[in-house]
Amino acid sequence: MTLKNRKILVTGASRGIGRAIAEILIQEGATVIGIARDFSSWNEQPGRLQPLQIDLTQLDELPEQVKTIAKQHPDINGIIFNAGEGRFGSLEEFSPKQIRHLVDLNLTSQILLARELLPNIKRQKQGNLIFIGSEAALSGSRKGAVYCATKFALRGFAQSLREECSNSSIRSTIINPGMVKTSFFDNLSFEPGDAEENYILPQDVADAVLSILSARPGTCFDEINLSPLKKVIKFK
Ligand SMILES: NC(=O)c1ccc[n+]([C@@H]2O[C@H](COP(=O)([O-])OP(=O)(O)OC[C@H]3O[C@@H](n4cnc5c(N)ncnc54)[C@H](OP(=O)(O)O)[C@@H]3O)[C@@H](O)[C@H]2O)c1
């Protein structure tokens, strides 16, 4: 399959799942507009990656920044809504500021981004919106109240756009991964167990993205859930 005529914006493209997605898209011929705060870990940036340093939690500035992207790249025909962060704990352990931060990053920034970029994609009468949700979008969990709330809401947003945009031939999909081996766990008190059956790899999620993009245009993957075969958690 070739993605030569695709220009796809990937949020959180600097590392982890977003980077793996950006890499596979570039490998398949797409041009990638990457959003993150720090791209320094890409030692060599391939020509078809255009990195944009944007802090998605700066919501007052975000709409104008995205308007500029839309003007410069009216041919963006896919968005991978991936940037996000995890924070876990009992609700009272969160400060109001920490709650705002998680909701702003995991949810509101993605909604604002979609709002500014959708008109151009609709005009092209072809495109994909792919949301990286989580297994936390599927069931609530102890210490997961705020994170689950952001991911449940993101899932509702993805499902609604699925209905709203199909007349413009835009396909909206949510991928819900279980534990993926990335720096997501660096500041958390737990991580996946060491055995390779206890985690999925960023490349597995990237492969799912490729399957979604290469499906027959008349077929839409609504949702993909993928999780490690075994689910052993290691506490640090
Ligand atoms: N890892 C898992 O087990 C897992 C499971 C299910 C779902 N997910 C979801 O998958 C997505 C990616 O997670 P990951 O595992 O790849 O985590 P990661 O390795 O920590 O990567 C997070 C990405 O988000 C970007 N980001 C964070 N804050 C940002 C901000 N304020 N502005 C712009 N970009 C920001 C980071 O870039 P900069 O730091 O350079 O800004 C980075 O590229 C998240 O939505 C997460 O909820 C992860």
pLDDT in tens, 43-85: 877 789 999 999 999 999 999 999 999 999 999 999 999 999 9
Is there an atom of ligand 1 within 6 Å of 150 CB?
no
* The predicted structure's pLDDT at residue 221: 98
Amino acid at 149: A
Question: What does the alpha-carbon distance between residue 192 and residue 194 come to, in Å, rounded to a whole number?
Answer: 6
Report the greatest alpha carbon distance in the chain.
49
Please count the residues of the chain: 236
The answer to whether 8 touches 25, Cβ cutoff 8 Å, is yes
Specify the 3-state DSSP secondary structure of 91. Answer: helix
Residue 80 in any domain: the answer is yes
What phi and psi values does residue 135 have, to the nearest 5 degrees?
Answer: -65, -20
Choose among 177, 67, 79: nearest CA to 127. 79
Residue 2 in any domain: the answer is no
What phi and psi values does residue 87 have, to the nearest 5 degrees?
Answer: -145, 130
Question: What does the alpha-carbon distance between residue 142 and residue 148 come to, in Å, rounded to a whole number?
Answer: 10
Specify the 3-state DSSP secondary structure of 104. Answer: helix
Number of domains present in the structure of the chain: 1
* The predicted structure's pLDDT at residue 1: 64
Residue 49 in any domain: the answer is yes
* The predicted structure's pLDDT at residue 45: 75
Question: What does the alpha-carbon distance between residue 51 and residue 36 come to, in Å, rounded to a whole number?
Answer: 8
Is there an atom of ligand 1 within 6 Å of 17 CB?
yes
* The predicted structure's pLDDT at residue 96: 98
Domain of residue 94, residue span? 7-235
With 0-12 / 13-18 / 19 or more C-beta atoms within 10 angstroms meaning exposed / middle / buried, residue 55 is: middle
* The predicted structure's pLDDT at residue 78: 98
Is there an atom of ligand 1 within 6 Å of 144 CB?
no
With 0-12 / 13-18 / 19 or more C-beta atoms within 10 angstroms meaning exposed / middle / buried, residue 53 is: exposed
What phi and psi values does residue 164 have, to the nearest 5 degrees?
Answer: -70, -30
Q: Find the 29 Cα to ligand 1 centroid distance in Å.
A: 24
DSSP type of residue 118: H
* The predicted structure's pLDDT at residue 18: 98
Residue identifier of the C-alpha nearest atom 23 of ligand 1 = 12
Residue 197 in any domain: the answer is yes
* The predicted structure's pLDDT at residue 86: 98
What CATH number has the domain bearing residue 62? 3.40.50.720
Residue identifier of the C-alpha nearest atom 2 of ligand 1 = 180
* The predicted structure's pLDDT at residue 46: 77
Specify the 3-state DSSP secondary structure of 209. Answer: helix
* The predicted structure's pLDDT at residue 16: 98
Residue 37 in any domain: the answer is yes
Is there an atom of ligand 1 within 6 Å of 104 CB?
no
Residue 1 in any domain: the answer is no
Helix 202-214, helix 16-27: angle, nearest 10 = 50
Determine the Cα angle at 4 with ends 27 and 43, to 5°.
Answer: 35
pTM for this structure? 0.98
Residue identifier of the C-alpha nearest atom 8 of ligand 1 = 134
Is there an atom of ligand 1 within 6 Å of 78 CB?
no
Is there an atom of ligand 1 within 6 Å of 134 CB?
yes
Q: Find the 86 Cα to ligand 1 centroid distance in Å.
A: 8
**Residues in the chain with pLDDT < 50?**
none
